[in-house]
Structure 1
Amino acid sequence: MHQVQIYDDIYQLPERWDELSNKELVYLVKLTQKDVSLELVKIYMLLYCLKARVTRHRKNYGNQVHLSVGKESENVRFRIRRKKYLLTPEEVNSLANIFGFLFERETDKYSRTMNYYIKPDCFVNPYPTLRIRMRKFIGPDDGLYDITFEQFIYMQTYRDAMRQDPQKINHLLACLWHRGKTFDISRLDKDAALLRHLPDTQKIIMYWFITGCMINLGYHFPRVFSGQEGSIKNNVFDSQLRLLDTLANSDMTKKDAVRKGSLMDALYSMDESVRKHDELEEKIRNH
């Protein structure tokens, strides 16, 4: 956590995704669904995490405070509990920049303009268990380290399907949050039907968690994954089945064991296979 000093008082603010509380994540989702600039998102997150209230120059903006902080703005008055502060716009912006970790910078290759987008660099599961209509759902461990290769296969398939049909998010979530102690593909449709009742904000947070985990896996297995969100090239269902066939060495008797086995074991096997393939190609080129 960041320690910041305002006058003589010390406050703590998140410095990475996994230090955001679930309430703070919900608030962030709601901000990203409004027409709010990147700078204002950071300022609103600053005020929300400090539990601060602006006491001057405010007007309604839904349930939030609408700020105009810039070089021409007046000083900003706000209160944290019983403490009152007066900061310049530059000081507010400096504090708000702590939340720059929420965004990734990208340059448009055609216009050369700089764009920013939310990049959930997180791998702590915000919802280890869920209760939906009296049914208990068990979620994955942090980082997706405990899921099976079968869960990964279907998860990647439904991530791909969401490009055409965003409602497939319910099936995507059902690949990881399931009833019963272990994942059972025969229950996926029924689990997805129950998960459909979750609030959209919660689904987005769960999707951010999945994305963050895939990014993290991409860092650890760069030979296996490609792209900024830890995706495998052409990650449609057919490609997943080809991966399964490769890991089982085309042996039908081994496929079920591979499917039920650990994702991490499968990734290490794939990584080693790619390494040997690259090494062989290098030797061929050198000769």
Structure 2
Amino acid sequence: MLPEVTATRYVTPLREGGSLPGIVEADDLGTYVMKFTGAGQGRKTLVAEVICGRLGRRLGLRIPDLVRMQLDPVIGRSEPDHEVQELLKASGGLNLGMDYLPGSLGFDPLAFEVGSAEAGRVVWFDALIGNVDRSWRNPNLLVWHGRLWLIDHGATMIWHHNWSGVGTAAAKPYDASDHVLATFAPDIAAASEELAPRITEELLTEVVADVPDEWLIDEPGFESPDALRRAYVEVLLERAATVGDRITVGERTKDGPSRAPEWLRVWVDGKAAK
């Protein structure tokens, strides 16, 4: 189970994120980036963060530590921003915290070189989890102490917004043409050979066990949180076996915004993806 802390002070919002995460201090004297259950994307964003964050770390990727974070809405009484106040009021109880990386910089592919092997491992991992939000427009990568760190996995596993269509999720191809690391000649074949055998039923079962029951209850079509956990395991396990063969890296597009926010809105609204 993830360690649990309690937020003691709200420091500042991070307005780069669509869900308005915030920097907070906690009772363990740590500083975290907090993602809220009351944000517009809902609790499934936090479920995705836990599953993908824990899985990525088990595969050896650099992803900040996660904690369960308790929030008392009273913490927002002195916050001057009305939008932040409302978010804190709507997020009382259990939320998610990610270790804050002080002094980290946003990844710039023109200023930071990534090796072919590391690029391949990141692209393969993003293909496995169906990450639509690691594009050159919005990398969701940080450089900290000279190393690459992966953040923000809320726009992954898009199938869990519509479980009725999950039958096609395992075989869905992954177009990495707009991936921010596509220009670093990612060695996808080597990454697949290394990582695919490590995605076992036992590993996935351990990873999804870290998702709190509170974020899994009342999902239509599932009688219990454990039944829903099992569904995540089955999709990821089946996808891992062959996803390396369905990754394409073509010519990147030249314009247009990141697709992730629109994809999330579409699925949350219960409509078919475009």
Q: Same fold (TM over 0.5)?
A: no
Higher RCO (CA 8 Å, separation ≥ 6 residues):
2
TM-score by structure 2 length? 0.27
More helix by share: 1
Structure whose CA Rg is larger: 1
